[in-house]
Chains A and B, each alone.
Chain A
Amino acid sequence: MSDLRGLYQEMIIDHSKRPRNFRALADATRKAEGYNPLCGDRITLYLKMEGERIADIGFQGAGCAISTASASLLTEALKGKSRAEAEKLFTEFHALVTGKTDDGAELGKLKVFSGVSEFPIRVKCATLAWHTLKNALEGGETATTE
């Protein structure tokens, strides 16, 4: 049970039920789709880049609590950040959810996903939005966590 509470922390449940920035951006300059064929999770991520800076960000889609909350918290964390900062956060986030570090000093709210490392099969859910972000930044089309 403690593991479960560690995974489904209140903030995660809240963001999965009321995802923030859950909208398409009409003026998006980048867009990418993410898909996890194993569980059917799908997200579309919209970025409005101003130079190297993420001026605005939104997402749409359907997925489990972990993938939806992860996308929601990602959008909150990255608004206004530079591309380099976003990439650095992904590296730290990935290390956190795969149990390679429990530090994640710069992750802020995103540290709420530390419980995922106890559920290896759910790592894909937590990182789907981030893989999609990477593709959006690189100008790719579809990300998959398979």
Chain B
Amino acid sequence: METETETQGRTFDVARVRKDFPVLEQTVHGKPLVYLDNAATSQKPLAVIQAEEQFYLRDNSNIHRGVHELSERATRAYETARIKAQEFLGAKESREIIFVRGTTEAVNLVAQTYGRAHTGPGDEILITAMEHHSNIVPWQILCEEKGARLKVAPVNDRGELELEELIRLMSGKTRIVAVAHVSNVLGTINPVRAIVEAAHARGIPALVDGAQAAPHLPVNVRELDCDFYAFSGHKVYGPTGIGVLYGKAERLEAMPPYQGGGDMIASVSFEKTTYNTLPYKFEAGTPNIAAGVGLGAALDYVNAIGIGKAAEYEAELLDYATGELERIPGLRIIGTAREKAAVISFEMEGIHPHDVGTVLDQEGVAVRTGHHCAQPLMDRFGVPATTRASFAFYNTKEEVDALVRGLMKVKEVLG
């Protein structure tokens, strides 16, 4: 075992990785748990659980205000996590990292600050047909308030974005382009660099929803050159309740604040309040400090594994799973993009996903069934719902086999 990792060999030592995730060692309905719902949330390594626990056991205090030792420790731990997030995204400065509750809040923040300040009647917001509801609804709310229009770039039958169409929809009225880096339903990896470049050539800023990309791909916001990038801690093996909005400093500087309250101010009087500097201007109130510390531990963990190495292993798993699932008669994979992360949505002829999910659960296999918070995309593919198996680097080929056996059982019970 040791030699494999020490030589940083081609083999990814998944058995060793699995030992870091205590939750995986259990049976469900008498069968070993096969957790394939990672796109909804990933499991947490012991290092993350312990980081949160240690914070509460030793360092718990509020941040940025106390003169005492505990407050200093808490502040240091939280701000160290910010630097880790900065490094994880390849951002230039740590003040470009805004802590939020998750990707959803990050998109809402941009819509409610940058969006409200720059959008007027007749203006347009441009998204794609594969967006999660969290990258649709905040823009709809903005459009409704400002009398602007939401424009949607189509996807093809493979589930790939029609890039030329997206670019054609960029106009002098477009105030922002907001796109998913990776689709949570289809697994499609979008050509974000090209999208940002096309947008910038027309003077349009770009927001990238990285919720599904951060756990699977190396991300570098300076290479992408995007104006905003958002991800959720709990999908990169960190705790729930913490996420990151990256914004270019000059953009964030020019934006009005999001929520008002403590921590986001420099001075307050009833006549005039001066806002705090970045990133605190956007961080009103006591944040989820322990989760921030946990996120820092999660990013350390992912870095130690190596996101590139993990991505290679996941690509192998995806290939294997795709091949195995395609052999099942009556099963249709939805989302067959050439550039794809380890997410497989599918439907089974004559069997509703909800029933698929129930039978699989009895076999210990956890998948997601439903519309995956992407109803417009379901409509695009003419299905009310799909079954989705989404993988992490702790999943194995044996687990893919268990999924396939479970699906045979589905056919036996419901076919």
A residues engaging B (CB < 8 A)? 1, 3-5, 7-8, 13, 17, 38-42, 62-66, 68, 119, 121-122, 125
Contact = CB atoms under 8 A, between A and B. Distances in A.
Interface of B: 29, 350-355, 358-359, 362, 369-371, 378, 384-385, 413-414
B358 A40 contact: no
Contact of A8 (B29, B350, B413): B413
A7 B358 CA distance: 10
A35 to B, nearest CB: 11
A39 B369 contact: yes
13 contacts: A3-B29, A3-B362, A4-B359, A4-B413, A5-B413, A8-B413, A13-B413, A39-B352, A39-B371, A39-B385, A40-B371, A40-B384, A64-B352
A8 B385 contact: no
3 cross-chain pairs, A with B, having the tightest CB-CB distances, nearest first? A40-B384, A64-B352, A64-B354
B384 A62 contact: yes
A66 B355 contact: yes
A64 B355 contact: yes
Nearest to B354: A64
Contacts of A125: 354
Given A5-B413, A64-B354, 17 more contacts: A3-B29, A7-B358, A13-B413, A39-B369, A40-B371, A40-B378, A40-B384, A40-B385, A41-B384, A42-B384, A62-B384, A63-B352, A63-B354, A65-B351, A65-B352, A65-B355, A122-B358
B384 A8 contact: no
Nearest to A125: B354
A113 to B, nearest CB: 14
A65 B359 CA distance: 12
A13 B350 CA distance: 11
Contacts of A5: 413
A87 to B, nearest CB: 27
B358 A119 contact: yes
Contact of A39 (B29, B354, B414): B354
B350 A17 contact: yes
Contacts of B413: 4-5, 8, 13
Nearest to A1: B362
B370 A40 contact: yes
Contacts of B355: 8, 64-66
A68 to B, nearest CB: 8
Contacts of A17: 350
A38 B362 CA distance: 20
Nearest to A63: B352
Contacts of A1: 362
A8 B362 CA distance: 13
A107 B384 CA distance: 31
A62 B355 CA distance: 13
Contacts of A66: 354-355
Given A39-B385, A40-B384, A4 B354 contact: no
Nearest to A42: B384
A8 B414 contact: yes
A3 B31 CA distance: 14
Contacts of B359: 4, 8
Contacts of A119: 358
Contacts of B358: 4, 7, 119, 121-122
B4 to A, nearest CB: 38
A66 B413 CA distance: 13
A119 B355 CA distance: 11
A65 B354 CA distance: 8
Contacts of B362: 1, 3-4
Contacts of B354: 39, 41, 63-64, 66, 122, 125
Q: Which of B351, B354, B358, B384 has the most CB of A within 10 A?
A: B354
Nearest to B383: A40
A41 B354 CA distance: 10
A7 B350 CA distance: 18
A72 B150 CA distance: 40
Contacts of A8: 355, 359, 413-414
Contacts of B369: 39
Contacts of A62: 384
B334 to A, nearest CB: 14
A56 B72 CA distance: 73
B232 to A, nearest CB: 21
Nearest to A4: B362
Contacts of B371: 39-40
A8 B415 CA distance: 11
Nearest to B378: A40
Nearest to A68: B352
A38 B414 contact: no
Contacts of A13: 413-414
Given A4-B362, A8-B413, A8-B414, A39 B353 contact: yes
A3 B409 CA distance: 14
Q: Which of A1, A39, A42 has the most CB of B within 10 A?
A: A39
Nearest to B415: A13
Nearest to A36: B354
A76 to B, nearest CB: 21
